[in-house]
């Protein structure tokens, strides 16, 4: 047993572990966003910890990527909760949904990078499980109030909107549009797709 660990109170060890995990996940977000093939050693260096510390919390690179995806999804859901999607007028709520998505994609570019190695599917908080239902619920509400047309299924529209935003973000990454242009075009296209009024 490590004498330092033995002398450190359990509460202190838990706090130290939480700080290490936070530092590792934040470093992984940045490093893998810039270099999807970065190694565990690269992530450890960026986090300011040893390689052994990274492996103590995440036994494999896949485990680290899964934890990063789960943390990103929880962050995304918190942003959607804060956007009051269930109470704002449907067109405003849709704009807020897209804004949360843009902020998410800027913070987690790895999740949109086509060069990124395939990541294993998380056991919980998979983005494909937690985000589309929120958008689908918003669209159904707008269809119910008459703000959006009801001729197309809400589930199809939700998938189409998410795909549209990902395409717009890819256009920015490729230098074919500025962020401002892509965000404005994405919002107008999304509102038109739903049959809502384009915002001026």
Least confident window among 3-12, 23-32, 103-112, 179-188:
3-12
pLDDT of residue 60: 93
Say which residues have a Cβ less than 8 Å from residue 167's Cβ, sequence separation at least 6: none
Sign for the CA dihedral angle at 7, 10, 14, 19 comes to negative
- 146: alpha, beta or left, given left = phi > 0 and alpha = psi -120 to 50? left
Rounded to whole angstroms, the Cα distance separating 193 from 127 reads 22
Instruction: Supply the pLDDT for residue 1.
Output: 44
Model confidence, pTM:
0.77
* Confidence at residue 200, expressed as pLDDT on a 0 to 100 scale: 45
Q: What is the pLDDT of residues 65-107, one digit of tens each?
A: 889 888 888 888 899 999 999 999 999 999 999 999 999 888 8
Report the percent of the chain where pLDDT is more than 90: 58
Residue 164 exposed, middle or buried by CB count within 10 Å (0-12, 13-18, 19+): middle
pLDDT on residue 166? 87
Mind listing the domains of the chain with CATH numbers? 1-59 (1.10.10), 68-200 (1.10.357.10)
> Comparing 138 with 197, which gets the higher pLDDT?
138
Q: What is the pLDDT of residues 45-69, one digit of tens each?
A: 999 999 999 999 999 998 998 898 8
* Number of Cβ within a 10 Å radius of residue 12: 10
pLDDT for the residue numbered 197: 60
* pLDDT score at 120: 58
Q: Which of 59-63, 122-126, 169-173 has the lowest mean pLDDT?
A: 122-126
């Amino acid at each position: 047993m490590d004498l330092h660990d033995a002398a450190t109170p359990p509460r202190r060890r838990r706090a130290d572990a939480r700080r290490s995990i936070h530092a590792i996940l934040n470093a992984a977000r940045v490093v893998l966003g810039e270099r999807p093939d970065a190694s565990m050693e690269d992530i450890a260096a960026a986090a300011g910890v040893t390689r052994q510390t990274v492996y103590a919390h995440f036994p494999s690179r896949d485990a680290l990527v899964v934890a990063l995806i789960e943390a990103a999804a929880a962050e995304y859901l918190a942003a959607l909760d804060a956007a009051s999607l269930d109470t704002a007028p449907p067109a405003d709520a849709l704009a807020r949904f897209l804004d949360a998505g843009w902020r998410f994609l800027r913070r987690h570019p790895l999740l949109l990078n086509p060069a990124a190695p395939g990541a294993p599917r998380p056991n919980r908080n998979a983005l494909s499980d937690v985000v589309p239902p929120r958008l689908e619920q918003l669209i159904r509400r707008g269809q119910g109030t008459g703000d959006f047309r009801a001729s197309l299924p809400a589930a199809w529209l939700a998938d189409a909107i998410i795909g549209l935003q990902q395409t717009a973000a890819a256009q920015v990454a490729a230098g074919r549009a500025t962020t401002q242009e892509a965000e404005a075009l994405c919002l107008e296209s999304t509102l038109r797709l739903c049959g809502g009024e384009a915002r001026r």
